[in-house]
C-alpha cells in the first residue's frame, strides 16, 4: 500500500489530531515535543507523503488542537500538552487497572466457590459413610472442615502447585491474553504495540533486528519502494505487549545498530487497519522483493552483493550508494572505488530537507559504463566499518 498524498475530510483531520496527542504522550517526558520532531513522527505514523500538502494539513491539525485548548505552541517551536490532556491519559490508565484486578478477583472467588462446593459434597459423603472412628472422634469430617477452612482463606495445599503454575506460565508466555497485550503502562498510556523504526542499516536482517530489540518482535514489515522494491531503511514492527513497546522507546531508541543510531516511535494502528495488522506472515516487505536474508530481489533488507541489485539499465554510468558511515567524504568514496580502478566523475550526497542532516546515502557518476560495472562489484563490501549498499541508478 503506497503512502497517502492528502487528507480529504474532517474525520481524517480529527484522526491526525488524535495521533498528535498520542505522539506527545508517548514522548520522553510525556507532555512536550519539538514541533519538527513531532511532525516527522506523526506524518510517518499516518503514512503520509512528506510534501507541502501534508505539512499544511499537519499545521491545521495543530491549530485545531490549539483552538480546543488541548495543546500550546511556544515561539521556540515546542508543542506542549494541556494539563487536562496529560491528566486525561493518566485517568484512562487508572480506570483500566482496577478493572483488570477486579476481573482477577472475580475469577479467583469463582474458583474457590467451586472448590467449596466439591468439598461440601465430600463432607456429605463422609457423614454418611464414616461419622465416627469408634472413639468418639469425627476424623473424616474434621479433615474436610480443615481443608474447607484453608480454601476459604486461600491456603489449600491441594490446589495447584506454585511450581506447576510457573511452568504453565512459561509455556504460555508467547500466547499473551489480548487484555494484557495492550494494557496501558508507564511511558505507554495508550497500550500501543506497533512501532515505527527508522535509520536502519540496509544490511539489516530480521534475526539481527529482533536480537537488538531484546527478542520482543513478533512481526516485521520492511518498508520498500512499491515499484522497485528498494529498501528504504525503515520498518513497522509488532512487539509482544505494551511493556515491550515502552521498553523499546525508553531503552533502545537512539542506540547504535550496525553503526547507525536507530529511531523508534509509537505507530498506533489507525481505524480500518485492524484486519491488516499484524500481518499474517512474521516477516513481509512492502514491495516486490524476496524475504530478508539474500536472494534475487530489488535490494531488500538483508541483501548483499550483485544478486541483491536491481536490473542494470542499458549503458548505466551512475550508482546509488547507501548504508554509509557519517564520516564518509569525497576523498574517502573516491579511494574506495579506485580500489577496483573505477574513477569517479562526480558524487552527490543526500541530506534531510528539514534538518539538513546527512542521510547516509548518495549518488556517484562514472566516466563510462565499464567503470560503473567494476564499481558495482563492491556492493556489500565494508567501507569505514559498514557494508556499503550499491544499486544501479538512471
DSSP string, 147-160: HHHHHHTT--TTS-
Tell me the C-alpha distance between 254 and 265, whole Å: 11
Dihedral over Cα of 357, 57, 1, 266: its sign: positive
Question: Does residue 161 carry a pLDDT above 70?
Answer: no
The band of 174, judged by pLDDT with boundaries at 50, 70 and 90, is very low
Higher pLDDT among residues 238 and 91, named by residue: 238
CATH number of the structural domain 306-393: 3.30.70.330
DSSP annotation of 1 reads -
Strand order, beta sheet including 389-393: 344-351, 358-366, 318-322, 389-393
Tell me the C-alpha distance between 61 and 56, whole Å: 9
What percent of the chain clears pLDDT 90, i.e. is strictly above it? Answer: 25
What the block records as the C-alpha cell of 203 is 544490511
Question: Does residue 289 carry a pLDDT above 90?
Answer: no
For residues 46 and 266, the answer to whether their CB atoms sit within 8 Å is no
Higher pLDDT among residues 135 and 328, named by residue: 328
Question: Does residue 327 carry a pLDDT above 60?
Answer: yes
Higher pLDDT among residues 284 and 244, named by residue: 244
Tell me the C-alpha distance between 186 and 250, whole Å: 10
DSSP assignment of 180-206: HHT--BTTBTT---EEEEES--TT--H
Q: What's the confidence (pLDDT) of residue 256?
A: 92
Rounded (5°) CA angle 79-80-86: 140
CATH class of 10-81: mainly alpha
**Inter-CA distances, 178 with 99, 174, 183, 209, 215, Å:** 14, 11, 9, 24, 19
Residue ranges per structural domain of the chain:
10-81, 109-159, 194-285, 306-393
Q: How many other β-carbons are positioned within 10 Å of the β-carbon of residue 112?
A: 16
3-state secondary structure of 297: coil
Closest by CA to 259, choosing from 303, 211, 193, 324, is 324
Closest by CA to 70, choosing from 58, 80, 56, is 80
What the block records as the C-alpha cell of 173 is 508466555
DSSP annotation of 306 reads G
Closest by CA to 361, choosing from 347, 373, 378, is 347
Question: Does residue 7 carry a pLDDT above 90?
Answer: no
3-state helix, strand, coil split of the chain in percent (to 5) is 40, 20, 40
Give 26: exposed, middle or buried? Use CB within 10 Å, 0-12, 13-18, 19+: buried
Q: Would you give the distance in Å from CA 280 to the centre of its chain?
A: 16
Q: Span 289-297, mean pLDDT? A: 37
Q: What is the largest CA-CA distance in the chain?
A: 111
CATH number of the structural domain 194-285: 3.30.70.330
Q: Span 331-338, mean pLDDT? A: 94
Q: Would you give the distance in Å from CA 99 to the centre of its chain?
A: 27
pLDDT in tens, 344-388: 999 999 998 888 889 899 999 999 999 999 999 898 888 998 889
Q: What's the confidence (pLDDT) of residue 223?
A: 85
Give 242: exposed, middle or buried? Use CB within 10 Å, 0-12, 13-18, 19+: buried
Tell me the C-alpha distance between 68 and 217, whole Å: 38
Q: Span 194-221, mean pLDDT? A: 90
The band of 44, judged by pLDDT with boundaries at 50, 70 and 90, is confident
Q: What's the confidence (pLDDT) of residue 118?
A: 61
To the nearest whole number, what is the mean pLDDT of the chain? 76
Q: What's the confidence (pLDDT) of residue 290?
A: 35
What percent of the chain clears pLDDT 70, i.e. is strictly above it? Answer: 69
Q: What's the confidence (pLDDT) of residue 130?
A: 46
pLDDT in tens, 65-123: 888 888 888 888 888 888 888 765 554 444 444 555 667 677 777 776 666 666 555 55
Tell me the C-alpha distance between 286 and 223, whole Å: 5
Helices (H) and strands (E) in the chain, counts: 11, 16
Domain 194-285 in the same topology as domain 10-81: no
Amino acid at each position: 500500500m503506497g503512502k497517502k498524498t492528502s487528507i480529504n475530510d474532517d474525520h481524517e483531520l480529527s484522526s491526525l489530531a488524535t495521533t498528535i496527542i498520542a505522539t506527545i504522550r508517548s514522548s520522553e517526558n510525556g507532555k512536550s515535543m519539538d514541533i519538527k520532531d513531532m511532525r516527522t513522527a506523526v506524518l510517518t505514523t499516518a503514512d503520509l507523503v512528506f510534501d507541502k500538502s501534508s505539512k499544511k494539513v499537519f499545521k491545521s491539525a495543530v491549530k485545531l488542537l490549539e483552538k480546543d485548548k488541548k495543546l500550546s505552541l511556544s515561539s521556540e517551536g515546542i508543542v506542549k500538552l494541556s494539563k487536562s490532556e496529560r491528566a486525561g491519559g493518566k485517568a484512562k490508565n487508572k480506570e483500566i487497572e482496577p478493572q483488570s484486578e477486579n476481573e482477577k478477583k472475580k475469577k479467583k472467588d469463582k474458583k474457590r466457590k467451586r472448590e467449596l462446593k466439591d468439598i461440601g459434597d465430600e463432607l456429605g459423603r463422609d457423614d454418611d459413610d464414616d461419622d465416627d472412628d469408634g472413639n468418639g472422634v469425627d476424623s473424616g469430617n474434621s479433615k474436610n472442615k480443615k481443608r474447607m477452612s484453608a480454601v476459604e482463606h486461600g491456603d489449600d495445599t491441594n490446589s495447584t502447585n506454585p511450581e506447576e503454575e510457573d511452568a504453565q506460565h512459561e509455556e504460555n508466555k508467547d500466547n499473551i491474553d489480548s487484555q494484557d497485550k495492550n494494557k496501558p503502562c508507564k511511558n505507554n498510556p495508550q497500550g500501543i504495540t506497533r512501532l515505527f523504526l527508522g535509520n536502519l542499516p540496509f544490511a539489516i536482517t530480521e534475526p539481527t533486528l529482533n536480537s537488538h530489540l531484546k527478542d520482543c518482535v513478533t512481526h516485521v514489515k520492511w518498508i520498500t519502494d512499491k515499484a522497485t522494491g528498494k529498501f528504504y531503511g525503515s520498518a513497522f514492527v509488532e512487539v509482544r505487549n505494551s511493556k515491550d513497546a515502552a521498553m523499546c522507546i525508553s531503552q533502545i531508541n537512539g542506540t547504535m545498530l550496525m553503526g547507525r543510531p536507530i529511531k523508534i516511535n509509537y505507530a498506533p494502528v489507525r481505524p480500518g487497519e485492524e484486519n491488516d495488522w499484524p500481518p499474517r506472515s512474521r516477516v513481509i516487505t512492502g514491495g516486490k522483493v524476496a524475504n530478508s536474508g539474500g536472494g534475487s530481489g530489488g535490494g531488500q533488507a538483508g541483501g548483499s552483493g550483485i544478486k541483491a541489485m536491481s536490473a542494470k539499465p542499458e549503458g548505466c554510468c551512475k550508482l546509488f550508494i547507501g548504508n554509509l558511515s557519517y564520516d564518509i567524504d569525497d576523498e574517502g568514496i573516491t579511494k574506495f572505488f579506485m580500489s577496483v580502478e573505477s574513477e569517479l566523475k562526480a558524487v552527490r550526497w543526500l541530506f534531510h530537507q528539514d534538518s539538513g542532516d546527512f542521510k547516509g546515502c548518495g549518488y556517484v557518476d562514472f566516466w563510462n559504463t565499464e567503470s560503473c560495472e567494476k564499481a558495482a562489484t563492491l556492493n556489500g563490501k565494508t567501507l569505514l566499518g559498514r557494508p556499503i549498499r550499491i544499486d544501479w541508478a538512471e
